[in-house]
Amino acid sequence: MCPVCGPLFGQKGLRAKVVCHCLLLETDQGLVLVDTGLGVQDYLHTKARLGNLVSRLGRIENNLELTALAQIQNLGFSPKDVKHILISHLDFDHAGGISDFPHATVHILSSEYNATQNFFSLKNKARYKTQQFKQHRYWNFIEPDQGEAWFNLHQVQGFHIFQDEILMIPLLGHSQGHCGVAIKQNDGWLFFCGDAYYSHLQLNPTNRLRTLDKLERFFAEDNQRRIDNLHKIQQLAQHEKNIEIICAHDPIELARYLT
């Protein structure tokens, strides 16, 4: 997406470049997709799925090859090979691809799904587009209870499908059930933080991005919890060199993996 005003997203220039960074993991439980970005139907029927405001202001690059579905097929896999989807939260730019993988089980904090059913909140109406996922059949609703410690954060209780090599880490604040995902690597961890921050510049607490901070405050369901979790992520970035940290929307972070 290329919305107006780069500084809103910690970038320079008139237009921002906002990617939807997703991960595809090969496991003994099948393929695992972490977040889904915009889906095929979001591109084909943007106004109907996302509304006029997003359609006009989001400046979505209309390229079906950017969907998770197309990229997974280009790798030689079938949509049915995706057995699990881990969702950081159900904002429209993270959940749109759920409908492209109807056979996958979606794992999400129950508090996040419940928030999408609050039709009286104008903020929720803007961020959640339930037509993206309301027909999906397979869900695993996870209670956001604190489990064992993971560095200075906690994993959720009872999520052991992947033998503790893929963890769901609550990062509440941006939304009611916002969650990060930690993936064990040979030499440490990859920590996907969703929208707990927007720009790699925020990992350094000495950087001051006032315009971006205002945007994050506007979107936050609980801004103090958002700030508290951002501070914990910054501590990890400063002191835990074996943790590779990425968020969902920073093109600089995504570019590390493009060859």
| DSSP secondary structure letters along 98-125 | GGG-TTSEEEEEHHHHHHTT-TT-HHHH
Q: Which of 28-37, 54-63, 225-234 has the lowest mean pLDDT?
A: 54-63
Beta-strand pair 105-109/139-142: parallel
Q: What is the per-residue pLDDT for 246? A: 98
Domain assignment of residue 1, yes or no: no
Answer yes or no: is pLDDT of 120 > 90.
no
pLDDT confidence bin for 56, thresholds 50/70/90: confident
Q: How far is 130 from 123, CA to CA, in rounded Å?
A: 14
Q: Whole domain around residue 152: which residue ranges?
A: 6-255
Domain assignment of residue 193, yes or no: yes
**SS3 (DSSP) at 185:** strand
Answer yes or no: is pLDDT of 135 > 90.
yes
Answer yes or no: is pLDDT of 107 > 80.
yes
Please report, for the domain that includes residue 238, its CATH number.
Answer: 3.60.15.10
Domain assignment of residue 246, yes or no: yes
Answer yes or no: is pLDDT of 227 > 90.
yes
Q: What is the per-residue pLDDT for 53? A: 87
Percent residues over pLDDT 90 in the chain? 88
Q: How far is 183 from 172, CA to CA, in rounded Å?
A: 19
Domain assignment of residue 166, yes or no: yes
Percent residues over pLDDT 70 in the chain? 100
Note the pTM of the prediction, 2 decimals.
Answer: 0.96
Q: What is the per-residue pLDDT for 10? A: 93
Mean pLDDT of the region 220-231? 98
pLDDT confidence bin for 149, thresholds 50/70/90: very high
Q: What is the per-residue pLDDT for 57? A: 87
**SS3 (DSSP) at 93:** helix
The structural domain count of the chain equals: 1
